[in-house]
Amino acid sequence: MDRLDRRDIRFVFVCLLVIAAGAAVTASLFRRAFPEASIEFRVNRGQARVLAEKLLAERGRDIAGARFAGQFAVDDTAKVYLERELGLERAGSIYGRDAKIWQWQMRWFRSGVKEEERVTISPLGDLIAFQSVVKESAPGERLTQDQARAIALEFLASRGLAEAALAPIEATPATRPNRTDWSFVDEKAGARFGDATVRYSTTVSGNRVTGYQEFVHVPQAWTRDYDRLRSKNEAAGQVATFGLFLTILAMLAVLVAKIVRKDV
């Protein structure tokens, strides 16, 4: 067995230095390069479910006997926008609190029944959204915009969102057979990430709040430009895949020819 000489020892030492340097760089920059690594999970799926069911109970929603489904999801559009426009480091610093893009999405439903309950909780345990899906024929009141708006503002105030801190964006009515639904969108004052903003959607069905969502609103112009870019990327990917297919066929043809000539 040959012994290591000085040259071998120097080579091993250099390799160890390179490994140590690589580990140091990875440890210092990994969370900046991959924001997913910085997700703070204060609640797991089970704990998020407990919080959601408590909310539904407080709102008088009956989920006894309903089936449950839940998943962890991410708002991809908002995530891509923030990382492209703000940079990974700044985007990572606002994820979870100012921009709630990581989500525990849950629903309670019964087979063959349209009515269901949906709740979205952040990994920090904050409410992001809820929706009570009701039949279009369900009874309710036909409120005016001002009356429905008052109910929506009261709910938002219970969430710590005072009317003075909100800028109304739109109010959309929906006439149902036995009631009128209103959807309101408000923007949070002072919360701006590039051209994106934080908005709140509130739905009033009849005289009760049946939907709420906090989300990052990405400019439509940026979304259209990004969709065009993605279309070009997908087209280029299809061309590249076809080219790879032809290359593999050529490789197989050459291999077969070499085998026939016994020249492998």
Would you place residue 22 in the very low, low, confident or very high pLDDT band (cuts 50, 70, 90)?
A: confident
The set of residues, in sequence order, having a beta carbon less than 8 Å from that of 166 and lying 6+ positions away, is: 156, 186, 187, 188, 189, 200
In the prediction, which pLDDT does 5 show? 78
pLDDT-derived band at 23, boundaries 50, 70, 90: confident
Question: What average pLDDT does range 228-237 have in this prediction?
Answer: 89
The per-residue DSSP string of 17-72 comes to HHHHHHHHHHHHHHHHH-GGGG---SS-HHHHHHHHHHHHHHTT---TT-EEEEEE
Which range (36-40, 83-87, 110-114, 242-246) has the least confidence? 36-40
Give the closest residue to 45 by CA, choosing from 163, 113, 125, 132.
Answer: 125
pLDDT for residue 161: 95
Query: What pLDDT was estimated at residue 162?
Result: 95
What percent of the chain lies above the pLDDT cut of 90?
69
Say which DSSP state 140 is in. -
pLDDT tens for each residue of 119-172: 999 999 999 999 999 999 999 999 999 999 999 999 999 999 999 999 999 999
β-strand partners of 204: 182, 209
The 3-state DSSP composition of the chain as helix, strand, coil percent (nearest 5) reads 45, 30, 25
- pLDDT at site 31: 61
Mean pLDDT value across residues 248-261: 90
Per the rule left: phi > 0, alpha: psi between -120 and 50, beta: everything else, 47 is alpha
Model pLDDT, residue 91: 85
Residue 216, both tokens:
């990052």
